[in-house]
Amino acid sequence: MDKKHLRTLLQNVRNEDLTIDEAMDRLRHLEYEDLGFAKVDHHRDLRQGFPEVIYCPGKTTEQIVKIAESMAHTTNSVLATRAEAHVYAALKEVFPDAEYHELPKAVVVHRDQNDKGIGTVLIVAAGTADLAVAEEAALTAQLMGSRVERLYDVGVSGIHRLFSNQDKLMNANVLVVVAGMEGALASVVGGLVDKPIIAVPTSVGYGANFGGLSALLTMLNTCATGVSVVNIDNGFGGGYNAALINRVQVNGSGG
């Protein structure tokens, strides 16, 4: 259950629009709901500031839909990552307002449209081939309440494209740098800015890239300060961490 739902519930009890027993019934799955094949963590938004996210690979379409239905009872935002088109079609039948973001393969049900975003998270991508991961990061940070800007196709092979956008780099609160091949872009950006950087290596590259391992090792071994690294192709993790940092910088607290 998110904070908004819980506040409304408590206010309804205070106003005697709900009895205590009715409120208790609604709170019975506050910590988690056991669906048999999954234990849906309804408490995560209160605990960590964002609801549990559905990672679709390895789950059946039916399982994904049932998890989403369970989550929708207690939160305004449902995010399903790495979802194929047929999964979106099934979710769309249950949630007419569901949106499909084709590039990152993400399904979003977001009913709190009044949130205009705070701070600025800048998503920097080396090449067009990195955009699926970059867009996953951008979408995640945006759903978590950050204002998101994008700076794409500014890899080190044409470094002048990056340098001509230094105002964007300097004005961001947090940066997510997404790159494949050798992954050098994160080090370059790290040497230019005084803000936290979340580096996301991608599996883009030829054979010696080893499915993103070369980019991962380059980012881990960077001599630039202020660069943290998430796993290969983990745009969600990069966007999530950036939004948490941005939230603390803007609000001065974790919530």
Delimit the domains of the chain by residue range: 3-110, 118-251
Q: Which residue has the tokens 């950087």?
A: 197
Q: What is the mean pLDDT of residues 193-201?
A: 95
Specify the higher pLDDT residue, 73 or 113. 73
Domain 118-251 matching CATH 3.40.50.720: the answer reads no
The amino acid sitting at 31 is: E
Percent of the chain residues topping a pLDDT of 90: 56
Of these ranges, 29-33, 69-73, 78-82, the one predicted with the greatest mean pLDDT is: 78-82
Q: Hey, CA dihedral for 12, 17, 23, 25, is it positive or negative?
A: negative
Average pLDDT, the chain: 87
Calculate what percentage of the chain has a pLDDT beyond 70. 89
Q: Which long-range contacts (CB under 8 A, 24 or more apart) does 163-171 make?
A: 166/192, 168/122, 169/122, 169/124, 169/193, 171/120, 171/122
| Of residues 33 and 138, more confidently modeled | 138
Angle at 157 between CA 187 and CA 206, to 5 degrees: 90
